[in-house]
Structure 1
Amino acid sequence: MDLDSVRKHLRKLKSYAERNGIEKTVFRAVEGISETLADREYAEEMRCNRETSELLRENEIIGGSIKISILVPACDPDPDDFAHLLDSVARQTYGNYELIIVDAGKGQDTEAVVNTYMADPDAGLPIVYKRLPENLGISGNTNEALALAKGNYIALLDHDDFLEPTALSRIAEEAVHGAYVIYTDEDKYDARTDRFFRPNRKPDFNLDLLYSNNYICHFLAVKRELAVKTGFRSEYDGAQDYDFILRLTDGMDEEKIAHIPEVLYHWRVSINSTADNPESKLYAYENGRKALQDFFISKGYKDVVVRDTDHRGFYHADYSNTVIDKEKYVLLVDDRLCPLSADFERALSGYFVRPDVGIVGARIIGRTGRTICNGYERVTGGRRVSLYGKMDFRFSGDMHRASMTRDTEAVSRHACVIRSELADCITGDSMEMCDEIRKRGYRVVIDPTINFKLTQ
């Protein structure tokens, strides 16, 4: 690890300690060591994958009926970084696209780079360029680019990030199959060390995880008419994509939301980016919380309070201020479990203000602090596994998801609340019980901020 990386980690730990205290910082530092080791393995994996993608690029460019408009709102990016972005678009294996660049910068460098590529017939870039008379902010600038789009789908690309060669072809494949919203996995890229790290392996669409964090983020493609209808709102600049995704997916048939489990987008880190320095744009995190809070209010959930968590850009929707009549739900708690918070019943039952939630489970931890249940899912062969099983409950897990509320296949019947109308689903098997609840169209939610400890 170079000196700059050491300084970066120390800066992050100092900020974390100031917010959360020494004990939590110690656990975060230990978890960070594991992440660093995983990053080394990923860097080698990515090197091999990119060699393969270079071979793919040598094949003939694929055509298709789906036209994709890539929107790039630019505001004085580093010229070399911006050229890297353009190179990554020029190297796409899918040919039916347009690259729309709206330039809100004060300098001339962006336009000069664009002119170089437009004058080069070998670059093959179908660029639509517009110089804005003033900087309208990230939302306003993106809306300007959106207004120029002619494609069936729009895709969002930040002005210093870049794509894998197969990004557009994979997007087009899902579009042909009828998806309205398409997103991919992503990672981070440090140009100082030419290193790819911290892959974000995302789940398929998970509404309650989205209510905890904008995990969808990059690379995102959307049917153009839906994007135009939704638009970007300047009051949430810095988190405008989070506000956009919350409203875009609200009430949408989840079968129309496609996840491509491949890292196809690279988020460039710099001292001024939230990818590398969480303190660089605190307003973005504040606007993210505001976007989620305002979204809940628009849904009529005025008593739900969105709170910051220990981790920047990650939130917790607190339903404990919502009072649900006791006859509306059944509380199931094993006698061997002791709650670690006094208001656990209100916090869990409050979720039933939402008509889509059928059961909410708490996290169960053992006497030594190791996780026993933080949700269940099935793996190959139908075997049930406990998510984050045996992990110390003070660790937050990959992308902090062990500490985030999310939808899951099943929760433990030993610490949960269930809607009264679903009481006939209650059985001695947690997986079977939750399977039936999901078959009836309800969500199964795990809230790991509510903890029960095994006492005997």
Structure 2
Amino acid sequence: MIRKLKKAWLILRRNGRQGLYRRVLWHYRLYRWNKVYQRWIQEHDTLSEDDCRQIKLRIGRLSSKPLISVLMPVYNVEETWLRKAIESVVAQIYPHWEFCIADDASTKPHIRKVLEEYAAKDERIKVVFREQNGHISAASNSALELATGEFTALLDHDDELSKHALYLVAEEVNSHPETEMIYSDEDMIDSRDKRSEPKFKPDWSPDLFYSLNLITHLSVYRTSTLRKVGGLRIGAEGSQDYDLALRITDEISPSKIRHIPYILYHWRAISGSVALSSDEKPYAHARARQAIEAHFGRKGIAAKSIQGYGELHRAVYDLPNDPPLVSIITTDGHLPSLLNSLFSTTDYKPYEIIIITRGPENDLTSDKRVQVIDCNGETHYSSLNIASRKASGSVLCFIDGSTIVRSGDWLRELVSQAIQQEIGAVGAKIFYPGGKIKHAGLITGIRNNIGRAHYKFHKQDMGNFMRLHVTQNFAAVSAECLTIRKEVFDSVCGFDAENFPSAYGDVDLCLRLLEKGYRNVWTPWAELIQSNEPAEGNETELARLREKWTKYFVNDPYFNPNFSNESDDFTLSFPPRTGKFSL
């Protein structure tokens, strides 16, 4: 209780009463979420005897049955948790595994007794007892020396695997033989074995990965690649798993990273565990940011990693010495407010403004940075295309006419993201004057339409998986603030104004960018206020969008299939769209 009061006092000092209120509200929502999650576990994440029989039949039909080495470093863990961790591997339905355990010179006598007991029972369990304590990276590498499997999974000494975990890993490898790295969804488990706080993750999202350790647990690597990078790095303790995943991604293409959208790992939330609180190992945050910056250096990316929201991370990309000219393209909706806030607040230079009007040009402004073009008779997206052709800038920023700029660095943030070679479109955090979210990324397939992630959440709410406060990838971002390099925009022929004249042109553009290999990014570090509601698309345009992009309506890669596609607020799906364990 004293600890919780101290934490509340710190939040009050840092964020005021409103910040404390938001944190309390978040905990209340988490409480309700966990109650719903208990029902979800019972109905959709509990294996029956028949499920187990069906899985065994599926295993027998697998064309490849890879040996999976499970690595577990051990040091002075309580006997109860050690036994539970070991039993979770022994209980795996998939039988083709070996358990490679390295004791890191534990001083508690029960460690050797328990490990030798299990090794004597099952020849698949291999144990090495280190003579000197070397910490978690060294101990993990000692366990790796024992591994002979084609793939290697990592397990902490007080955590547990779901009993179908290795089966689903084997299924994934069979479906995608070129796989190099696999990660799954996860949750927490307390001292009473009660599960809570599931983390339902998106498919591979590099920009989210630079904000938090998306991989964490369960993580599985091709053993040859794990050895190629030298195993876990000494000196990265506290963020050794994060550092490893970053180094692995240096060596492989994104297509070889697979996400299994099932809860396969239970992270023990007990005193001393990072699962209980990130404050348990504060040094881990600094080492994580060091690992991210080292990754940027190896990739030739001019960027640094700084503290973002709370203890999360923020990638800040350098601008060139001569920043590119940005063409801000907007309509004449609420022009005085927009121009006043742009001119008085925006720190970034240089930029020009192109204003689209719907009638004869008039003296909207005498500012030399402003160009006015008449698009009378043109549709919304054809007007934006016309304006883009008039633009002098190498970066385009489409923005709604009702916008009020909130922070001086908004344009710098958008441009610094957009000029990265792998990035397509970049979206901003847009909220209504009262603080409710208007746009924080778009989700395909919500109610068989396009959903707005965290729509009408308060801008200070944390959102699912802290995602209202971290840079991340989405299938699409809204053209109510969309920044893109002109060469990239032109390479896909801009907006498809013929098929999507009034709405959905932004979604179509973003999906075409995905198909070309670009990533679309949403950043919370560019904040804008807008009062207009987005235009409603007609059924004809929506039908065209569904027909053209059916696969994204069926499965948005950045929206976990355990979430309901009847809502954009990340509520659980009953039943999940994954089906039950691929049966």
1:282-321 to structure 2, matched below 5 A, reads: 282-302=282-302, 304-312=303-311, 314-319=312-317, 321=319
Task: Decide which of 139, 143, 146 is 2:144's aligned counterpart.
Answer: 146
Matched with 1:189 is 189
Per the TM alignment, residue 416 of structure 1 is displaced from its structure 2 partner at its CA by 2.2
Per the TM alignment, residue 268 of structure 1 is displaced from its structure 2 partner at its CA by 0.4
1:424-435 to structure 2, matched below 5 A, reads: 424=490, 425-427=493-495, 429-435=505-511
- Report if aligned partners of 2:419, 2:485 keep a CA contact under 8 Å in 1: no
Q: Residues 370-421 of structure 1, C-alpha deviation per residue, up to 9 Å, x if partnerless?
A: 1111111211675111111111111120110122111111111121211111
Per the TM alignment, residue 267 of structure 1 is displaced from its structure 2 partner at its CA by 0.3
Query: Relative to structure 1, is the Cα distance of residues 16 and 70 closer, same or farther in structure 2, using a 3 angstrom cutoff?
Result: farther
Between stretches 177-186 and 262-271, larger displacement belongs to 177-186
Per the TM alignment, residue 270 of structure 1 is displaced from its structure 2 partner at its CA by 1.1
Q: 2:138, 2:11 → 1: CA distance?
A: 33
Matched with 1:241 is 241
Instruction: Supply the AA of the counterpart residue of 1:207.
Output: P
Q: 1:81, 1:97 → 2: CA distance?
A: 21
Q: Residues 214-252 of structure 1, C-alpha deviation per residue, up to 9 Å, x if partnerless?
A: 021100111111111122212221101111111212363
SS of 1:28's equivalent?
helix
SS of 2:280's equivalent?
coil
1:110-125 to structure 2, matched below 5 A, reads: 110-120=111-121, 124=122
SS of 2:47's equivalent?
helix
SS of 2:31's equivalent?
helix
SS of 1:452's equivalent?
strand
Q: Residues 312-349 of structure 1, C-alpha deviation per residue, up to 9 Å, x if partnerless?
A: 2x211122655542243112222210121112222111
Matched with 1:356 is 422
Q: 2:91, 2:54 → 1: CA distance?
A: 11
- Report if aligned partners of 1:356, 1:442 keep a CA contact under 8 Å in 2: yes
Between stretches 157-166 and 224-233, larger displacement belongs to 224-233
Q: 2:411, 2:123 → 1: CA distance?
A: 58
Note the residue ranges of structure 2 that are not aligned, 5 or more in a row: 326-392, 496-500, 533-583
Instruction: Supply the AA of the counterpart residue of 2:103.
Output: D
Matched with 1:176 is 174
Query: Relative to structure 1, is the Cα distance of residues 150 and 310 closer, same or farther in structure 2, using a 3 angstrom cutoff?
Result: same
Per the TM alignment, residue 108 of structure 1 is displaced from its structure 2 partner at its CA by 2.7
Note the residue ranges of structure 1 that are not aligned, 5 or more in a row: 1-5
- Report if aligned partners of 1:53, 1:166 keep a CA contact under 8 Å in 2: no
Query: Relative to structure 1, is the Cα distance of residues 138 and 21 closer, same or farther in structure 2, using a 3 angstrom cutoff?
Result: farther
Query: Relative to structure 1, is the Cα distance of residues 276 and 10 closer, same or farther in structure 2, using a 3 angstrom cutoff?
Result: farther
Q: 1:117, 1:261 → 2: CA distance?
A: 31
Match status 1:52 vs 2:47? yes
Query: Relative to structure 1, is the Cα distance of residues 400 and 50 closer, same or farther in structure 2, using a 3 angstrom cutoff?
Result: closer
Match status 1:211 vs 2:210? yes
- Report if aligned partners of 1:182, 1:222 keep a CA contact under 8 Å in 2: yes
SS of 1:214's equivalent?
coil
TM-score, L = length of structure 1:
0.91
Task: Decide which of 441, 450, 454 is 2:517's aligned counterpart.
Answer: 441
Between stretches 72-81 and 371-380, larger displacement belongs to 371-380
Task: Decide which of 2, 12, 31 is 1:36's aligned counterpart.
Answer: 31
- Report if aligned partners of 2:437, 2:454 keep a CA contact under 8 Å in 1: yes
SS of 1:411's equivalent?
coil
Per the TM alignment, residue 99 of structure 1 is displaced from its structure 2 partner at its CA by 0.2
Query: Relative to structure 1, is the Cα distance of residues 9 and 59 closer, same or farther in structure 2, using a 3 angstrom cutoff?
Result: farther
- Report if aligned partners of 2:411, 2:526 keep a CA contact under 8 Å in 1: no
- Report if aligned partners of 1:320, 1:347 keep a CA contact under 8 Å in 2: no
- Report if aligned partners of 2:418, 2:483 keep a CA contact under 8 Å in 1: no
Q: 2:159, 2:411 → 1: CA distance?
A: 45
Matched with 1:3 is none
Matched with 2:454 is 388
Instruction: Supply the AA of the counterpart residue of 1:107.
Output: K
- Report if aligned partners of 1:101, 1:130 keep a CA contact under 8 Å in 2: yes
TM-score, L = length of structure 2:
0.72
Matched with 1:260 is 260
- Report if aligned partners of 2:309, 2:469 keep a CA contact under 8 Å in 1: no
SS of 2:524's equivalent?
strand
Larger Rg over CA atoms: 2
Q: Residues 74-126 of structure 1, C-alpha deviation per residue, up to 9 Å, x if partnerless?
A: 11111110001111111110001100000002233221111222333xxx461
Instruction: Supply the AA of the counterpart residue of 1:172.
Output: A
SS of 2:276's equivalent?
coil
Per the TM alignment, residue 206 of structure 1 is displaced from its structure 2 partner at its CA by 0.7
Compute the RMSD of aligned alpha carbons. Answer: 2.2
Query: Relative to structure 1, is the Cα distance of residues 256 and 38 closer, same or farther in structure 2, using a 3 angstrom cutoff?
Result: same
Between stretches 52-61 and 289-298, larger displacement belongs to 52-61
- Report if aligned partners of 1:270, 1:276 keep a CA contact under 8 Å in 2: yes
Q: 1:283, 1:295 → 2: CA distance?
A: 19
